[in-house]
Amino acid sequence: MKQSIGLVFTLLLSFLTYADDVVDKVYHPYVLPFEKDVEWRFMSRQNSSGNDLLQRVAFGHALSENLISEVFIVGERDQNGDFSMAAYELEFRWMLTEQGQYWVDWGMLLEVEKTHKSNEWEASIGLLNEKQWDRTSLTTNFIVKYLWGTDRSRKNNTEAELRMKWRYRLRPSLQPAIELYTDRNFLGLGPSLMGEARFSPRRRLKWEVAFISGLNGDSKDHTLRAALEYKF
């Protein structure tokens, strides 16, 4: 059974092109009722082509008990070393099942991104799930992206990504994990740390940091990512 599932997934990815920025947040399928959040993400990727630096700032507001929307402003360092606005994103996360309702918890991700200075678009849909065993959990994201615009390399281009995180909940403030990122041409694996400080049942500050090394292709492909998220 496991071999059959793996074969189906491999065949699916074989028809899709690779995604450039596969290393990003691994999404959990949960939404707090009517939550708000402010989020900052940082990503620095070193490879044979140089160093890419990208930051995201977002504000999110739950539209219902199980649906939240977030608006992102994306900044990126260009070839001249200047840091400027690169794109805008609108994201929706939908909690499909209540935590513990079934054997696995399920959620969905919808996202639309537009490049700041050009007519380049990207739409994503993702299936999120998480399974918990005592103090450990396994989170999986399968995301399919469709790109279009005036750039011929992006026109009618479909991409797929798989992100996974195995986490040990040592205590709320410190949770070590291992993260896996893969698409057709990239396989990355590395350690991460995360935790949260709770100030009230609704107010909490979450943090995470990870170092992902490319296991195929360019041996110098390393990504450092970090994030802060304040929920209230």
Instruction: Give backbone dihedrals phi and psi of 221, rounded to 5 degrees, phi first.
Output: -80, 105
Instruction: Write down the pLDDT at residue 22.
Output: 79
Give the pTM: 0.86
CA distance 171 to 143: 30
Place 9 in a pLDDT band, splitting at 50, 70 and 90: very low
Which residue has tokens 């504000």? 59
Which residue has tokens 């450990």? 136
Place 84 in a pLDDT band, splitting at 50, 70 and 90: confident
Task: Judge contact between 128 and 107, C-beta under 8 A.
Answer: yes
CA distance 8 to 4: 6
- Secondary structure class of 11 (helix, strand, coil): helix
Instruction: Write down the pLDDT at residue 117.
Output: 85
Q: What is the DSSP letter of 73?
A: E
Could you report the per-residue pLDDT of 205-230, keeping only the tens digit for each?
999 999 999 987 655 789 999 999 99
Across the chain, mean pLDDT equals: 88
**Token reading at 26:** 């691994």
Q: What angle do CA 90, 47, 154 make, to 5 degrees?
A: 40
Counting residues of the chain whose pLDDT is more than 90, the rounded percentage is 71
Burial letters for 140-176: b for 16+ Cβ neighbours within 10 Å, e otherwise?
bbbbbbebebeeeebeebebbbbbbbebebeeeeebe
Mean pLDDT of 144-168: 86
Place 15 in a pLDDT band, splitting at 50, 70 and 90: very low
Distance of alpha carbon 158 from its chain centroid, rounded? 17
Instruction: Write down the pLDDT at residue 52.
Output: 87
Task: Judge contact between 86 and 110, C-beta under 8 A.
Answer: no
Is the pLDDT at 108 greater than 90, yes or no? yes
Which of the four CATH numbers 2.40.50.140, 2.40.160.40, 3.30.1330.10, 3.90.1150.10 does domain 2-231 have?
2.40.160.40
CA distance 76 to 56: 9
